[in-house]
Structures are given as C-alpha cells and as structure tokens.
Copies of this chain bind each other. A is one copy, B any other.
C-alpha cells in the first residue's frame, strides 16, 4: 500500500510502443493517481509474449522528464522494459505496474501470446502488484475515453488493496460501445484457439516466404469466462497465476515414474 501522504509510484509499460494511443490514454488517466515512470518499447512488440533480449544490448532511445512524469523508450520487449525499469528505479518497487492499454483483446488463450500481460507477469515475479489492460478492438484509433473512469476506479481500489503474491490481473474491456459498459466480472480464461494459415509469396529472387494470418475461435460455453463477459458488455478481470503447475494433474502421472 502506498505510504500515507506520499504519492504512489506507478510504473507504466505496454507492448504497442511508447507512441501508441493506448499507452498515452493510460498515462493521462494515471497522472491523477501518483508519480509516473514510463518505460516502454520504442516499436510495436505485439505477440512478443515473455521474450527477453539476450543476444543484443538495450539502449534508451527516447527520454523525457516532466513534473511527476518521466518517460523512457528502449529497443526491447515489454519484459525487458519491466526489468530495465526496476534497474532505473534502483530496485525500488513501484506501488503498481500498469501495462497497456493494449490495442486488441488478451482474453482466452491470447494471454499466452500477450506482451501486455507478460509485462504484468514479470512485475509479479519481481514482487510488485501488476495489472494489464486491453481493449477488444485492434483499431489504432479506437475511442478509449469510456475506459478512463473504469481504469481510475480499478487502480484506486488496487492501491488500497494490494494483490496477493504470485497473481496479476488480466483486465479486458469490451468493444461494444454503443451502450455503456455494464460493470465488472471476475472471470476464468476461456478455452479457445487460433486457426492459422500461412500466406505464401515470392520475392524478386524467386524465394518463397510466408506471412502468418489467423482466426481466433472460442471453444468454451461456460458462463464465467472472460470472452463471455465481454460479449455481454462487461469488463473481464482474470486473476493470472505465475505458477503454471497443473495442480490437479500432479497425481495423474505416477506411471511415468516407473518407466
């Protein structure tokens, strides 16, 4: 919990890059809540999941400093940004890490590919409360204004009620904005998959190359999933564990110990 009378320290990152409308909206919204440090990728890092830059060095490619708002862009992934931010802060833990707002849903199995949520997972591993925000709309120009009061309320609550260890929150906003968002539901990750195709093209030297494309399919009829909540115009909040052990399967593989 933030020290009484001291402004909370809030770390902001994302995976769409420091110039994306999503992170700009998040920064604007967060300025009322505390002292802000932004460390974000200098380019789009969609689909980077929890990847780390090990084979080349990181550089700070942009830096600005205003009252209670310091920003850095680096040539790295969202997870690099969180680790590097912790270094820049001399290992002082922020009161909250907020990642996003992602341009596109991170509900269902998208959580596994998401750099936005990976940043929150990394914050959790480093020991600070962390959440990722995403909007179920890939458009760069999506209107994020209706999300601001919800984000403010959620963040205010989280600063008063810190998350338990080992858990971050994957928070997804519905796309439908012809009517007001109905509220918030606590959800489980829906089962779903991507059906991918590879579009084959040929370069001027006659060599083939392949672009991945895909269509997401939700394969889950349960009433309490993140996908269902968004379909019904609710904000979904899914608690995400950093312990991936299939707990209920630990007793199912006894035979394997006797091969």
Which A residues contact B (CB, under 8 angstroms)?
Answer: 44, 46-55, 57-60, 77, 79-80, 83-84, 86-87, 109, 111-113, 118, 121, 125-127, 153-154, 156-157, 161, 164, 166-167, 169, 183-186, 188-189, 191, 193-194, 196-198, 201, 207-212, 224, 237-247, 249-257, 259
Contact = CB atoms under 8 A, between A and B. Distances in A.
Contacts of A109: 125, 242
B52 A84 contact: no
A237 to B, nearest CB: 6
14 contacts: A47-B51, A50-B113, A51-B77, A52-B212, A58-B198, A58-B212, A59-B209, A112-B121, A157-B255, A164-B249, A184-B257, A237-B256, A239-B245, A241-B245
A50 B46 CA distance: 11
A196 B87 contact: yes
Given A51-B48, A259-B153, A167 B210 contact: no
A111 B121 CA distance: 12
Contacts of A212: 52-54, 58, 80, 83
Given A51-B51, A186-B253, A208 B259 contact: no
A157 B256 contact: yes
A246 B188 CA distance: 8
Contact of A60 (B121, B154, B208, B257): B208
B238 A241 contact: no
A231 to B, nearest CB: 17
Most chain-B CB neighbours within 10 Å: which of A44, A157, A241, A255?
A241
A201 B253 contact: no
Nearest to A115: B51
A51 B51 CA distance: 6
Contact of A259 (B52, B156, B239, B242): B156
Contacts of A186: 250-251, 253-254, 256-257
Contacts of A240: 244-246
